[in-house]
Amino acid sequence: MPSYVGAIDQGTTSSRFLIFDEIGKIVAIHQIEFPQHYPHPGWIEHDPNDLLNSVSTCIDEAINQFLKDNTHSIKDLKAIGITNQRETFLVWDKNTGKPLHNAIVWCDVRTIDLVHHLTKQHGDDIFRKSCGLPISTYFSAMKLLWMIKNVPAVKDAHDNDTLLVGTVDTWLIWNLTGGINGGLHITDVTNASRTMFMDINTLEWNQQILDFFNVKKSCLPRICSSSEIYGHIKIRDNEIPIAGILGDQQAAFVGQKCFKSGEAKNTYGTGCFMLFNTGTTPFFSKSGLITTVGYKFGNTPTVYALEGSIAVAGSAIKWLRDNLGIINETKDVNTLAALTPDTGGVYFVTAFSGLYAPYWRDDARGCIVGITQYTRKEHIARATLEATCFQTRAILEAMNNDSGHPLTYLKVDGGMTSSDICMQIQADILGMEVDRPMMRETTALGAAMAAGLAVGVWKSLSDLYNVSSEDNDVFKPQISSNDALQRYQLWQKAVERSFGWA
């Protein structure tokens, strides 16, 4: 009988559940968007129950699709993997199961004053050799510290040892495996590596860092590998193993099969994230990148990665739609951008929440420069696409500097890669080939691969190379390297204009 693997993909703006067959083909999918909450400028929150309910609904609807023609059985579903928005952090009471505050989303910048206070006293790299990360608004530690300091219910629960905390994977698994009735309080090494609390060398919570932030270890989840049978979820009276957990960018890293040292992928979603495989030893960047866990499958050696993170990518297109109203649907940005061969000298620095790698400037804010009376909305649309492509070049140059082995092509995935014009702009700006898979759901596929590997649907990494192995689209540069360099240098001047606004 054929085997199938499910994947929960809980993202920043929507939740999905997908079911894949053994060759990586999608046989069922359901997706739901959920509300974003903006209590103050720079603050972004999610209702934890929206995350849970949207996932539950997606599972139910995708299962209905899977079973509707009577050719499949629930017993054919061998395992479920989970992938999730990473640094977003949640807090709840272990006795009631009720959230004690909305989830603080990864790109929220409310902790900027705390960050400046700590970095002024200690520098931003005080724990980089332990956790791989600088002190930043981006990572989960600062979000938890803010909640303990500012939300009385969280402080009380922390003081009284009734507090449970975790990234989105932890919240979902705890609820899906029983909640207050024995729910599993766990996370995997990739998500734990984004909190600042985990020692990236030992893969355990670092007591020195916990003491620094005055956080009790008892409220944190147990750290597991990215691929093992953790527990079970009940679906239609059947117990299905939950067997894979990967943060969303690491899931795409696996889904793109970046299993060899020196391979890299770039995911264009709400933000944009490039991961470079550095092998089984953590490598610490000298060029503004962060060190993270790429994946750990069961008892096999941990694979590490360098990562460059861009806070705003696809969310800038939503901003054109929702805030400026110059497009009706996100896909319209491509039609609009195609109306002009260039931006008319316009550059858009999309620093809505500051700039992440390689700049690490939380005082930066968005700016559009080079506007003249000639500027039209199509120039703004094209500049929005170019913004992500220029930032990707900045990260790629940092990775090349660190590795000493320049990449010759880039694997890409994520929603923005559906745009041929965006991918052609990316190839032009990088001066290298951009390789786009035919199967775009690589994040969910990576979570499914991790889960399927744990239950024997696939026996080894070599088996995974045969999953979703269709031909790819390849975009090649169509402009000269000098033209690309001149445009990139102007972009860097625009970036400098964005500094110092916050």
Contact yes or no for 198/170 (Cβ under 8 A): no
With cut-offs at 50, 70 and 90, classify the pLDDT of residue 418.
confident
Tell me if 334 sits within 8 A of 421, measured CB to CB. Answer: yes
DSSP β-bridge partners for residue 339: none
On the question of pLDDT at 463 being above 90, the answer is no
**Which of 152-166, 215-229, 256-270 has the least mean pLDDT?**
256-270
Residue with the two structure tokens 């979603």: 269
pLDDT of res. 329: 87
Kindly give the pairing relationship between strand 45-46 and strand 103-104: antiparallel
- Say how far apart CA 231 and CA 176 lie, in whole Å: 10
Residues 22-65 have pLDDT tens digits of: 988 999 999 999 999 999 988 999 999 999 999 999 999 999 99
Say which residues have a Cβ less than 8 Å from residue 223's Cβ, sequence separation at least 6. 186, 187, 188, 189, 192, 198, 203, 204, 205
Whole-angstrom Cα distance, residue 198 to residue 481?
42
Q: What residues contact residue 236 under an 8 Å CB cut-off, 6+ apart?
A: 63, 74
Average of pLDDT values for 339-347? 92
Alpha carbon distance, N-terminus to C-terminus of the chain: 59
Residue 458 has a pLDDT of: 92
pLDDT of residue 172: 97
Q: Give the C-alpha separation, 198 to 204, whole Å.
A: 5
Q: Report the pLDDT value the prediction gives residue 447, as an integer from 0 to 100.
A: 96
Q: Which residue, among 338, 417, 81, has the nearest Cα to 224 in the 3D structure? A: 81
Of 138, 137, 187, 184, which is closest to residue 166 (Cα–Cα)? Answer: 187
409-413 sheet: strands from edge to edge? 290-295, 303-310, 272-279, 264-268, 409-413, 433-436, 473-475
The DSSP line for 266-286 is EEESSSEEEEEEEETS----S
pLDDT band of residue 440 (cuts 50, 70, 90) is confident
Q: What is the mean pLDDT of residues 411-420?
A: 87
Q: How many CB atoms lie within 10 A of CB 465?
A: 12
Q: Is 49 exposed, middle or buried (0-12, 13-18, 19+ CB in 10 A)?
A: middle
Query: With 80 as the cut, is the pLDDT of residue 469 above it?
Result: no
Q: What is the mean pLDDT of residues 333-356?
A: 91
* DSSP 8-state secondary structure symbol assigned to residue 68: T
pLDDT in tens, 351-408: 988 888 888 888 899 999 999 999 999 999 999 999 999 999 999 888 888 877 788 8
Average pLDDT for 342-347: 93
**Could you tell me which residues are beta bridge partners of residue 242?**
80, 231
Give 233-255 pLDDT, tens digit per residue: 999 889 999 999 999 999 999 99
pLDDT (mean) for 476-480: 94
What is the per-residue pLDDT for 94?
95
Residues 94-111 have a mean pLDDT of: 95
CB 419 within 8 A of CB 385: yes
pLDDT of residue 386: 94
Beta-carbon contacts of 290 under 8 Å, excluding residues fewer than 6 positions away, are 132, 133, 134, 306, 307, 308, 309, 357
Per cent of the chain over pLDDT 70 is 100
**Average pLDDT of span 492-498:** 94
Cα atoms in the Cβ-side hemisphere of radius 13 Å centred on 486: 6
The pLDDT value given to residue 122: 86
User: What single DSSP character describes residue 37?
Assistant: B
In contact, 303 and 193? CB cutoff 8 Å:
no
Question: How confident is the model at residue 437, as a pLDDT?
Answer: 85
- Residue 441's pLDDT band (cuts 50, 70, 90): confident
The whole-angstrom separation of Cα 323 and Cα 320 is: 6
Domain residue spans of the chain? 4-246, 257-436+471-502
% of residues, the chain, pLDDT over 90: 68
Stretch 90-112: mean pLDDT: 95
Q: Are 181 and 61 in contact (CB under 8 A)?
A: no
DSSP code for 416: G
Q: Coil, strand, or helix at residue 226?
A: coil
pTM of the model: 0.88
Q: Which CATH superfamily is domain 257-436+471-502 in?
A: ATPase, nucleotide binding domain (3.30.420.40)
User: Does the CA dihedral 491-494-496-502 come out positive or negative?
Assistant: negative
Average pLDDT over every residue of 189-212: 96
Instruction: Look at residue 481 in the predicted model and tell me its pLDDT.
Output: 92
Mean pLDDT of 405-429: 88
pLDDT of residue 160: 95
Return the CATH number of 4-246, one of 3.30.300.180, 3.30.70.100, 1.10.3720.10, 3.30.420.40: 3.30.420.40
* Mean per-residue pLDDT of the chain: 92
Note the pLDDT of residue 81.
Answer: 97
Phi, psi values for residue 35, rounded to 5°: -70, 150
Amino acid letter, residue 313: A
Q: How many CB atoms lie within 10 A of CB 196?
A: 28
**Cα angle 256, 259, 264; round to 5:** 60
Alpha helix (H) residue ranges in 33-176: 48-67, 112-122, 128-131, 140-150, 152-159, 168-176
Out of 83-92, 220-229, 314-323, 486-495, which region has the weakest mean confidence (pLDDT)? 314-323
Q: What is the pLDDT of residue 315?
A: 85
Q: How far apart are CA 198 and CA 132, in angstroms?
A: 9
pLDDT score for 20 = 95
- For 230, the enclosing helix (H) or strand (E) is strand 227-235
Supply angle C-alpha 65, 69, 75, rounded to 5: 75
Angstrom distance (rounded) from CA 18 to CA 310: 26
Location of structure tokens 């207050």: 180
